[in-house]
Each structure stands twice: as C-alpha cells, then as structure tokens.
Amino acid sequence: MPEDFSREEWDGILYFLASITNMIGKVLHDYEICGTENLPEGPGIIIYYHGSSPLDYAFFVNKLYTTGKQCFSVVDHLFHYLPGIELNRKVWKLCLTREECVEILKKGYLVGIAPGGLREQNYGDNTYRLVWGKRKGFAQVAIDTKVPIIPMFTQNIREGYRTCGNIWPMRWLYELTRYLIFPTFGPIPVKLRTHIGEPIPYDPNITAEELVEKTKTAMEALRDKHQKIPGSIRRALWERFEKHHKTR
C-alpha cells in the first residue's frame, strides 16, 4: 500500500472531479445523504448494499471528500487485472487486499465495503434482499482493528439502475468466470437518498460469524425503514418531487 495516502499534487484535481460528481448526482437524482452524524471521527468500516450500479457509492465518497473526509474503497478482485491499477488505487484510494484494509484502518481512515459485491449487483432485484453468501472477511477485519461497522443503504438505487439478463445462461457464465457483469440500463432520474445507520461498536466478545449476522440485521432494518418493497420506478420518480421527506 502506498505511504502517501493524500498526495498534495492530486488534491486540487480530485476536489474538482468530486465537485463535478456531486453536481451530476444532484442533476440526475437530486442525491442527498442522511445520517452523517453517525460517521465516526476516526476509523470505521462502512458496509453498504451493492445495487445494479455503484454510482450511489461514488456519489457518497465524492460528497464526503468535499467535506474533508476520505473513504477508501474495497473493490472486486477483477480490478487486479485492469491496466494502470497501481496508479488508480493511489489516486482513487482503492483497497485490493485484507492487509491493505487493516493498514488503512490503523491510520485512521474509513473503508467502504459491499459484502455482496458483483454477485449482489447481478442477482439483486427490487426486493433488495442481501446476497452476501458466506462472506465474513469484513467482520474479521473489524474485530482485528477494533473499529465500528457503519451500515449504509441507498433508497431507490434499484429503481435508478436496473439489471437485465438474470437468466440461466448468464448466471452459468458468471459462476464459471466470476467476471461477468450483467447488462444494466439507466440512469432513470429517480430520487436517490443514502441513509447512514447507527454504528455497531467494537465488541471483544463477539465472533466474526456473530458480527456478520448483527450487521445483516442492521442493514435489513435500515432498508426496511427507508425503502418500500418491492421498489417502484413510478413511486421513486414521485419521491424526487416531494417537497418534504417523511421519515418512516
């Protein structure tokens, strides 16, 4: 992992790009974040739902950057094979290994992880069920580094971007290669609102498996509080024009 976590020569460029991304999020989806008071001042692991597109997470990270906070991002293993990955991981603050996550957390930064990853992106639908399988690496990292887990969910992300091709041949190819991204259509200019839940504090007496279940419960509670299921494109479009957000 590079030692220069915040290279000054990139700061101006990154701030400009983040501001442009914020503007795109506002124009496309009237994007906003609720619950920033739940973000810790120090390190923590943000666990988020992976929709058909990770654009909501990109909006979140860039909006956070313009407020002075940095969030590193764990990316799928297929990124290992992309050209220029070394430069990209330095500039865009990407994590490729568990060891890098531990190092970054120990330096006091936030780290964003979508346990469902590409599988959740491909197989998810407007019921917003979690597709995590048996993944528990994030929980073990949280225990090893003694940091809180912060659940995060973006309302209407499945209505803004829809996955196509969830049929047997596509699923077979994905399971065979683990590199296949199902076709996605969008953007649909629905309201996107990212909700940050209350942190799950470090508990020395909990196992990784128990922490995974605790995180799932918190994620599902956050989803059920803010997302009407099944999701509806028409309703999500209407929510964009509501003058006042009603907390359910």
List the beta bridge partners of residue 153. 195
Give percent of the chain with pLDDT exceeding 90: 72
Strands (E), 162-240: 162-163, 184-185, 193-196
pLDDT band at 247; cut points 50, 70, 90: very low
pLDDT band at 87; cut points 50, 70, 90: low
List the beta bridge partners of residue 111. 45, 72
Q: Catalytic one among 29, 50, 195, 226?
A: 50
User: Taking residues 213-225, what's their average pLDDT?
Assistant: 98
pLDDT band at 156; cut points 50, 70, 90: very high
Q: Specify the length of the chain in residues.
A: 248
The answer to which of 141-145, 216-220, 225-229, 243-247 has the lowest mean pLDDT is 243-247
CA 54 – CA 192 distance, rounded (Å): 12
- CA-to-CA dists, residue 156 to 28, 40, 144, 175, 215, angstroms: 13, 25, 34, 27, 21
pTM metric for this prediction: 0.91
- Whether residue 248 has pLDDT greater than 70: no
- Whether residue 52 has pLDDT greater than 80: yes
Active site residue 50: yes
- Whether residue 221 has pLDDT greater than 80: yes
